[in-house]
Chains A and B, each alone.
Chain A
Amino acid sequence: MPEGKTDPPDRWLDGVLGPALRSTDRNPPGCDAERAAAYVEGQLAGRERKSFEAHLAGCAACRSLAATLARELLPPAREPASARRWEGWWSWRWAVPSMAAVAVIGSAVFYQWERIAPPAVQEPVLEAKAAKAPVAPVESGPEPAALPAPEVQKRDKEAAQLRDERSRRVAAVDLELDDARTRKLQTAADTYKKAGVRETEGVAQQAQPDSQNAVASRLRQSADGFSQNLQEQRQNENKQAGQAGPAAADSVRAIVSSRTAAPPATKVVLGGIAKEKAEVASEEAGKPAPRRDSASAPSPEQVYRLPGNAPLNHWVLQGSRLWAVSNGGRVFRSNDGGRSWERLESLTTADLVRIELESETSLVVTDRQGNRHRLAP
């Protein structure tokens, strides 16, 4: 057996086929050594070749001669084409030029793709940058030495203008949002003042003689806090969407630095004193502690930092107890004016946007879809 090609079930031919073939050989006329050599060398063609093959099929002597010639005159068994392809020095002489050409073409294509690619995939990053810095630089750097075609330049310019416009729009929306938050804070501060917190401010910030300046300063801090809260919320959303990128990291760094600059202890003390004063006043009047919520009562600095930087969607205050709701069905309760929080069971995972104290023993939270859930306070 020349090669281990045949499967075991077919090996039966090995021993019996040779004798069977020999026994059926007829040794026809037409033996010719030169023709056999020509056949092996591929010199025979067409009818002559067929004729000689028919002769070979029945002539053991010619077959033996042709087989001997084939073994010795034909080159050894060829290697697979894949291995032969890399044979010889000449197959490598084009390797370096080919690789260089591929690198040049690849660079050009990549450069053009970067310039022409639609900015859709960069939108989240641009938004995040706009939230931190109102005007985000879009493109910079010198023009490459090899200038693209005029059409490409025109297209690039339009794309850059589009990105600029989008960045400006995003920044404007963010600023409007921040203004709205600031106005809301202003309203809250006014309400806070009406509730008699002026004395509290005086006690807590004895170092500041001018109460107007103190209020303005606190408002600025409140605005900063809400801006930070907004950024935290965006950061959380980005993380949830798996898009937390460099811009989100910058936002986190900004939040950390602002918190370091403005220690929260002052705010907590402010909140605690304010709360104590309000409770004392209420107890002196013989009335139950007044209920306040996000829209009306004390400074939101007291409550805006929830565990895990959860975004504060709504809160309600009764006496010294605070309740707040956040995304993912999270409901928090604080018994110390916001210093520490505990999470309540809410039996929902929807984003909660409103919380109401229905009675002394019942809280009602509302999710974004308007569904209301009752839970024990």
Chain B
Amino acid sequence: MLLDDFLREESEAVEEAARQAGLERYPLDRRLFARALLESVERYAPEARGKELRQFLLGLRLQDLALATACAHGIEPAWEEFYRTFRRFLVDAAGECDLADQVIAELYGTGSAGGQIGNFRGRSSLKGWLRAILHQAQVDRHRRESRLVELEAMPVEPGRQEHPEDFEARENASALAGALRLEVDQCGPEERLLLAWYYVQGLRLAQIARLRGVHESTVSRELDALRKRLRKRVENRLRSEGFSAARIEECFRRSIEAPLDFQEFLVPKQAANQESAARIPRSGVL
């Protein structure tokens, strides 16, 4: 959609959005702001029309969008406000000034990636988006440093002979992990996400509840039911593979007593590297 068409068709909504955004603070040209709105629509609601489009436009973080747009166009008062408002937040989140200032520099356009702040579309708050940008910067730095450490000090393990008991335990653990992987693969997206929030990302029940928009007790109940269901399915699968009840019990017991890191033998090294290398774009679609 062309900007003129957008302004003509949605003039009323754009006017209302501009009024709510407070463009006169910087001041920001109304046409520049309308272009930012149009880009947001094209990215997040390309099919929206009429009332739905109006709701989408007025549901954006309009003031943050106006600030980011003004910053992207080099309006000095906007940068001053941005710096005054968000630098402290970034420093606190990063735990250091260097990384926070590096992120700000990249947003401003002095870094290698150019001015990133123009990619903000007002879908989330500017603070949330900045935290995501900072997270990406942290991941990038961690990856760089890990790679350096890996090259400089590659662990050299002495060879050792595996004990028969170790072998049996490893067999059991492998069987359990394999069965679990198959069962998890059959779970729906919601169940997988719930398990991942809790067991992989380590979120609390209250945080998961906030994310899902339900009560904490609901999350707890669903998690309990899912755990029981998974265990039953894994038991059935192991039984179908010829495991005795005692051996199945031993599998679960060993996994509790000595949880092993299955990452090494469950995920191929190459695949793991690819996964960790996956980088979330700061904006746009991968």
Q: Which residues of A contact B (CB under 8 A)?
A: 1-3, 5-6, 8-25, 27, 29-43, 48, 53-54, 56-74, 77-78
Is there contact, CB below 8 Å, between B267 and A19? yes
**Closest CB of chain B to A66's CB: distance in Å?**
7
| Closest B residue by C-beta to A30 | B285
Contacts of A1 in B (CB 8 A): 202
**A13 CA to B226 CA, complexed, in Å:** 11
0/1 string, B166-202, CB within 8 A of A gives 1: 0000000100110011001100011011011111111
* B245 proximal to A (CB < 8 A): no
**Which of B10-18, B24-32, B105-113, B204-212 is near enough to bind chain A?**
B204-212
Is there contact, CB below 8 Å, between A33 and B133? yes
Q: Which residues of B contact A (CB under 8 A)?
A: 44, 59, 93, 119-121, 123-125, 127-129, 131-133, 135-136, 173, 176-177, 180-181, 184-185, 189-190, 192-193, 195-207, 210-211, 213, 216, 220, 223, 227-228, 230-231, 252, 255-256, 259-263, 266-267, 274-275, 278-286
Q: A57-B196, A69-B135 are in contact. Are A21 and B211 (CB under 8 A)?
A: no
| Closest B residue by C-beta to A18 | B200
Which of A39, A53, A61: most chain B CB closer than 10 A? A61
Contacts of A67 in B (CB 8 A): 197, 201-203
Is there contact, CB below 8 Å, between B124 and A65? no
Q: A30-B285, A42-B213, A70-B211 are in contact. Are A37 and B131 (CB under 8 A)?
A: yes
Q: A30-B286, A32-B283 are in contact. Are A21 and B199 (CB under 8 A)?
A: yes
**A59 CA to B201 CA, complexed, in Å:** 12
**A112 CA to B20 CA, complexed, in Å:** 59
**Closest CB of chain B to A160's CB: distance in Å?**
58
Contacts of A24 in B (CB 8 A): 181, 184-185, 192
Q: A20-B177, A21-B184, A32-B281 are in contact. Are A69 and B132 (CB under 8 A)?
A: yes
**A275 CA to B44 CA, complexed, in Å:** 122
Is there contact, CB below 8 Å, between A61 and B227? no
| Closest A residue by C-beta to B284 | A32
Is there contact, CB below 8 Å, between B259 and A14? yes
